[in-house]
Every structure is written in structure tokens, then in C-alpha cells.
Chains A and B, each alone.
Chain A
């Protein structure tokens, strides 16, 4: 269970106008903007839920994921994931979660995928029998058997993403965070990734928290949607709560963004 209450995070961002003169000025005197990435966030996610976490760029989606996965320390507020405070019990916490960053790779670039998997097994200290079982299951489900012996650098984006997702699941995490997992993928890969995530959620009961800009991801995966804008939670409900009959989901969302002025 994930419990988040009154979570706040502020970043200080140096600002200056364009041009060389201003660059020199900024060297001596710098002005800062305070950006409220997260402003009094609260929500609660039960075990086994699949939640879509949506919002425009810069709304605070990634910051929330980073706090929940122990990367960032918030300024104030509480956050409990299965009774753990992510940034305080970092090591025990991250051993039980899986994180996929769609834009970044966690595989070692120059070696075959299977070597990366084995190193990840050692990092997470996964028992050999569990590792073998997981690897077999994941290889079947994500159709990896052809890819395992290929160096990561030679994989296509879709192939790599399937390997990335497998890599995040080798240690049987109870909770899976996916930060834009389908970004840049072709239709076939997208469907494969979605189907797999859905399967994990249904059969293994893995809690899935997903950020994405692709509303079809949400339609396919999430029973519940949390909308965030300008660091605040604006809406928390099912997809049907958002949808108003007949429209394209993207248009609905754009209308919603305009309505909340985010």
C-alpha cells in the first residue's frame, strides 16, 4: 500500500534572460525562481491496483515517482510505501520495487543482454532458483529468447524496452513504477509491452504505477487515473469519470487541461 500525504518539493532554478550580457551578469548576481514541483500531494494506492498517473509536461509526475522510489527527498510531508519511508530506508525499499525509466537504459551497453541480467541478479542478490524461473517466464512472455545474446547497443528501441522491463522484474518486485514505458515505440512493441504489464498486474498482483502521455496506455492498463497539474492533484477517479461520451480520449484530456488551466 502506498500512502502519500501533504508531499511538497520545491526546486530552485536559476533564471536569466538570453544574450551574452545577461550571461555575464548572471555570473555575479543570480536570480532564482522557486518552482513548486509538488504542492501538497496526497493519494493512496492499494495493493494490486494499476494506476495511471497523468498530467502535462512539468506537472510533477516524474518528481512523484522519484520520491516514491527513493531518489529524491521531499521538503515536507509523509510518504509510506508498505510501511517504509523510501528516502530513509532506501536500500531495503528499492529491493522490493522495480523502476523503468522509458528514456534511460539500465542495461550495460557493450555486453549481451544476458550478462546485464546476471549482473542485476547479483546486485539484487536474487536466489538462483528464483532467477531461473523469472528469466524463463519473462523470456516466454516478452519473447526475448532471440535477444538475450545480442549486445544492448545492437537492439532496436522496442527490443531494448522489452529487455528493460524484464530487467526491472528479475527480482520479483511487489510494486512496479513505469515512467513513460511506451515512449517512441512502434505499434507492435507498444501492444506487447501493454499486454505484458496487464498480465503482471492480473496474475502476479503487482501494483503498477504508470506515467505516460499516451492515453491508449491508460485505456489499456489503468483502472484508476490520477491527474496532476502544477504540482497539485486535480482529479482522482476512473477513466470513465474523465470521459464524456463519444469524444476521442486525447481531446477529452486536452479539454481537461484547459479547464484546469495547466
Chain B
């Protein structure tokens, strides 16, 4: 963990070498998120509810998902460029260092520019949490923290899975984006709006609804028992198969020429 902060500081030093670029990227990230917010806004300007969810409720959901996605991106962005790390042999270097490989991959890239998105997530989230008429109490706050924690874990797991595939294909697989970026795009709305099948898929295959839909229902007071508080923690188990898959990949690793 201490080492991760060392990586953190060296990236910060690198970033500071290119100030203008950094600020512009933060700004563009912010704008990107604003557009996704506007999408929701205009939708609700026309229809007042979507499948029984009000504007504030969707905004709240969106804020939570956005926040977990950004956190996961900040931490695990190294996996996103993992295909190129294998391609240019950078992964060889990681293997000759006496530290955990995953930690080192994480350390290769830490995205400070995601601060922009995260800021927007927090704004949306606070706005919605205040106006949404949610009766905040201790269990709800805990649920919310679990949701963000669990959501971040699931996104990290998906990034890890994506990187694991690279060992077998040596190329990033675009289809995995359905699950990473796609999950975040679709996760802005409570998953039940997509119908039963999607909800089932996101419960049993990729346990995304355990951090989004079910605890959300609990927080909003729309049903779902107290067990929903702990569902996000259950969802964190998703990381285990992802990790095993990665381990298998490392063993199969064949490196590149020269």
C-alpha cells in the first residue's frame, strides 16, 4: 500500500511536467460527464418518470455509479492499456521486480484527470441526495458507502478480466467494453428499466445489480429488505474469479520477441 503511494507521487510529478495538458484533460473529462447528465435531464424534461423512478432518483443512481466508475478508473486504469504493456514488453519488466504483478500494473498508470469526472459525480450525487427526499439515516448511509465500495470493486474486477483476456489474445478485446464502459453507461439508470433479462444477467453473471438496483431500492424506500444493505459486499466476491482468471493468464504468458 505504501508502495502504491510512491507510484502515486511519481505520477503526480510526471503530470506536473505537462500542466496545460493536464488542465485541458480535466476540463474535457468534466464536459463529457456534463453531457451524460444533460442526457438524463432532457429525458426527464419530457417524461416525468421512467419505470416509476423520478428525476432525482435516477440522478442519485447515476451519481453513485459515476463515482464508483471514476474511482475504479483512477485506480485500475493501468489494466486498460494492458494490451500495449504486453505488446511492448513492459510486462517483462514488471515480472522481474519482486512485487505483486497486479499492484505494479496498477502503478503504471494513475489517472489524475479523472478528478474532473469524479467532481461531477459528487456534484450530481449531493444535489440528488439533498433534493431526492430520501429519509437519510445510519443504515442508508452505510448502504450508500457499501454501494460505492462494491461498485468500485466490480468495475476493477471487470478491468482485471479485460486485462486477463489480453494474455490469450494479445490484443485488447473491444467486446469487453460492453461490460466496462457499457456497464457504466447503462448503470446510470436503475437496471430494472431494461427489463427482467438484463436484471437477471446483472444479478447472476456480473453481479452489478447487487451494488446498484437492490440497495438503491432500499435507500429509496421502494421495497427490498434490510438484507439489501449487505448485497454490495456479496458482489465484491466477483473479484475472486477475475483474479483467478488473471493468474491463469500470467502462467500462460509468452512474452514477445527479442
Contact = CB atoms under 8 A, between A and B. Distances in A.
Contact of A108 (B2, B10, B89, B104): B10
Contacts of B258: 62, 103
Nearest to B104: A123
B257 interface: yes
Contacts of B104: 123
A16 interface: no
A111 interface: yes
Contacts of A69: 95-96
A78 B97 CA distance: 22
Interface in B10-26: 10, 13-14, 17-18
B89 A104 contact: yes
A152 to B, nearest CB: 10
Interface string A103-128: 11010111100011011001111000
Contact of A123 (B89, B97, B257): B97
Nearest to A98: B96
User: For B89, B98, B254, which residue has the most chain A Cβ atoms within 10 angstroms?
Assistant: B98
Interface string A69-99: 1111100000000000000001111110101
Contact of B14 (A95, A97, A106, A109): A109
Nearest to A124: B98
Contacts of B3: 122-123
Contacts of A125: 98
B230 interface: no
A32 interface: no
B90 interface: yes
B113 to A, nearest CB: 15
A125 B2 CA distance: 11
Contact of A111 (B10, B90, B99): B10
B36 interface: no
Contact of A115 (B10, B93, B99, B251): B10
Given A95-B98, A119-B6, A124-B97, A72 B14 contact: no
A257 interface: no
B54 interface: no
B254 A11 contact: yes
26 contacts: A62-B257, A66-B92, A69-B96, A71-B96, A72-B253, A72-B254, A73-B253, A91-B98, A91-B100, A93-B98, A94-B96, A95-B98, A97-B96, A104-B88, A104-B89, A106-B93, A108-B10, A108-B14, A110-B13, A111-B10, A111-B14, A119-B6, A119-B10, A123-B97, A123-B99, A125-B98
Given A72-B255, A108-B14, A110-B18, 4 more contacts: A110-B13, A115-B10, A123-B3, A123-B104
